[in-house]
Amino acid sequence: MAFGRSSRSTPTVEPVTLKILVAGGFGVGKTTLVGAVSEIRPLRTEETLTEAGRPVDDTSGVERKSTTTVAMDFGRLTLREDLVLYLFGTPGQDRFWFLWDELAQGALGAVVLADTRRLEDCFAAVDYFERRDIPFVLTVNCFDGADRYPAEAVRSALDLDPEVPVLLCDARERESVKEILVAVVEHAAMLGARRRGSVPV
């Protein structure tokens, strides 16, 4: 021991921080997903839906929804001592999509949430990440009362590439969401290794 410190003390681990986006259509559960898994109180930028927004806010299938995200949701999850995820939930409505490019800067990958009752609402998010070559997993949020379909049926309906993982989750359940986020990290890592040529196609 020197100067009162033990030579056995282990150095502090500096965690790697990764940025994950959570995207999808209006009312699909992005805010719920971030809130379910965040270890800090999530930052939310929700505003109340108004009569003035009715012509542009399609609430079909989510008639009980009374608020909408106008900028982003933010949360944090420590997966391991050396790995921390920063979660950014994107706004779902068309008029706020100009924010997506800012939020996507430096993102490792994304979760695209889908609702089988309104599957077409996730087309724009899928297209966005495909065009920008950002790894993503397609995640069906299993709403109460919604019909359940096999993952391959969802893949076919959305015409997704075979390499895109299609998973089911309950955005209200912490462990379910954690599994999805781990899948995003693993998928992005695999694609990154493949692009570097260290993993066979």
Q: What is the pLDDT of residues 128-178, one digit of tens each?
A: 999 999 999 999 999 988 888 999 999 999 999 999 999 999 999 999 999
- Tell me whether residue 180 is in a domain: yes
10 in a structural domain: no
pTM reported for the whole predicted model:
0.79
String of DSSP letters for the chain:
-BTTB-TTPPPPP--EEEEEEEEESTTSSHHHHHHHH-SSPPEEEEEE--GGGTTT---TT-TT--EEEEEEEEEEEEEETTEEEEEEEPP-SGGGGGGHHHHHTT--EEEEEE-GGGGGGGHHHHHHHHHTT--EEEEEE--TTPPP--HHHHHHHHT--TTS-EEEE-TT-HHHHHHHHHHHHHHHHHHHHHHTTSS--
Say if residues 139 and 168 touch (Cβ distance below 8 Å). Answer: yes
**Dihedral in degrees, nearest 10, Cα atoms 144, 150, 151, 157:** -90
Count of structural domains, the chain: 1
User: Is 147 inside any structural domain?
Assistant: yes
Mean pLDDT of the 39-52 span: 66
* Amino acid 94: pLDDT: 63
Question: Considering the domain boundaries, does residue 9 fall inside one?
Answer: no
Let me know the angle formed at the C-alpha of 33 by 156 and 174, rounded to the nearest 5 degrees: 105
- What is the structure's pLDDT at 53? 47
pLDDT of 64 over the 70 cut? no
pLDDT at 65: 44
Mean pLDDT score, 172-196: 95
User: Is position 1 within any domain?
Assistant: no
The reported pLDDT for the residue numbered 169 is 96
Please report whether residue 145 resides in a domain: yes
Tell me the residue range of the domain where 39 lies. 16-195
The answer to whether residue 73 sits within a structural domain is yes
Q: What is the CATH number of the domain that holds 93?
A: 3.40.50.300
**Residue 52 is assigned to a structural domain of this protein:** yes
